[in-house]
Structure 1
Amino acid sequence: MKKLYRIHQYILIASLAFVPTIALAQYGTPKANQNGDFTTSVPANIFRNYWIVVDSDPRGLNCRWSPQLPRREWDADNVVWPTLNIEQWPVVRRFPKNTRLTVYHGHGGGTMLNDTRGLPWVTVDLGDDRACLVRANQRFIKPD
C-alpha cells in the first residue's frame, strides 16, 4: 500500500510540473495580426510576461501614462479614467532597442488595453508598483 501511495504521489507531482507548460502551449507564442498588432484573449495569469523592444527609433520606444491616473495602483479607488487616446498621453519613459520589458499584471491582473482607435497596448512594469503603456505591435515589440 505504501508503494502504491508513493507512485500516486510521483504521478501527481509530475503532472503538476507540466500544468504551466500545457497552459502556455494552448495559447502559444503571441502572433501578430495582419496589421502587426498583438491582441489576446489569454487569461492574465498566463499572458506572455516578457517582450523585447525591436523599435529602431534612436530615441527609444515611447511608454506613455496619463497624468490623470495615479502612479500607484492602490491610489486608484476614486479615479475617473481619462479618454483612452493613449497615443496622445505624455511619454514617461523611453526604452532602447533590445530592452527586455516585463508586463505589469497589477492587483487586477490586466495586461493589455485598447485605445480609442481599438489598437492594443501592453502595460509595462516600471517597478515600485508603477506602470506605463507601449504599443503592442510587431514594429515596436516582440514576444520573448
Structure 2
Amino acid sequence: MSIHKLLPLSLIAVLGTSVGFVGLPTLFSASESPIASASASRPVQDSNGDYHFPNRSRPRTSWEWEVMDPDPNGLNCRYLNRIEGPPTGSNDIYNYPVSHTFEQGQRLISPQISYDDRDLPWLWIGASSTNHICFVRANSYFVRPVRPLN
C-alpha cells in the first residue's frame, strides 16, 4: 500500500479515537484486501442473513466491513453515548436516534457484534475505547465482512 493511502488511514485512526466514529472510505482495491485467515474468528451468516461470531464470542480482532445497503439515503447508524446510557432506556438499538449514514461501498471498522432486545445482531462502529459509538445491523442485506484487522 502506498504512503498516500496510509496517511489518510492514520488520520482516520486518530480522529476515530477522539471523535468516536471510524468509517473508512473504500481505500483498498480487491487485490489489496487480504483474505481472512482460517485462524481468525470469522463471522458466520445464519439463514436470515444475520452475522454472528461462533458461539457468539467476541472476535479476537476487529473486522473491516463493507456497506452493501442499496438505499440511496445510506445505511443508518444508531447513536449511543456510553456515559449517558441507552437513549430509550433499554437495549432497543433499532429505536436509538440515527447519528449519520454510510454510503454503499464504504468500509467500516467494528470491534464486536452486540445484540438488541430482540436478539438481533448489530455491529458496534467505532473504537471499543470511546464513549460515542453507533450501531448498524449485522445483516448481509446491509453489510458484509471483508477482513480481520490486526
The CA distance in 2 between the partners of 1:141 and 1:131, in whole Å, is: 17
Cα distance, 1:42 vs. partner? Answer: 3.9
Q: Which amino acid aligns with 1:132?
A: C
Q: Which runs of 5+ in 1 are unaligned?
A: 1-19, 71-75, 106-110
Match of 2:39 among 23, 29, 39: 23
| SS of equivalent residue, structure 1 residue 102 | strand
TM alignment of 1:96-107, pairs within 5 A: 96-103=103-110, 105=111
Structure number with higher relative contact order (C-alpha < 8 Å, ≥ 6 residues apart): 2
- Other-structure match for 1:59: 73
The CA distance in 2 between the partners of 1:44 and 1:56, in whole Å, is: 27
Q: Which amino acid aligns with 1:23?
A: S
More strand by share: 2
- Other-structure match for 1:94: 101
Q: How many residues align?
A: 106
Q: Which amino acid aligns with 1:38?
A: Y
| SS of equivalent residue, structure 1 residue 134 | strand
The CA distance in 2 between the partners of 1:93 and 1:139, in whole Å, is: 18
The sequence identity of aligned pairs, in percent, is 30
TM alignment of 1:34-45, pairs within 5 A: 34-40=47-53, 41-45=56-60
The CA distance in 2 between the partners of 1:22 and 1:119, in whole Å, is: 26
Q: Which amino acid aligns with 2:77?
A: C
TM-score (norm 1): 0.63
Q: Which ranges of 4 or more aligned residues in structure 1 deviate by more than 2 Å?
A: 20-23, 41-46, 79-82
Q: Which amino acid aligns with 1:34?
A: S
- Other-structure match for 2:5: none
Q: Which runs of 5+ in 2 are unaligned?
A: 1-35
| RMSD across aligned positions (CA) | 2.6
More helix by share: 1
- Other-structure match for 1:118: 119
The structure with the largest alpha-carbon Rg is 1
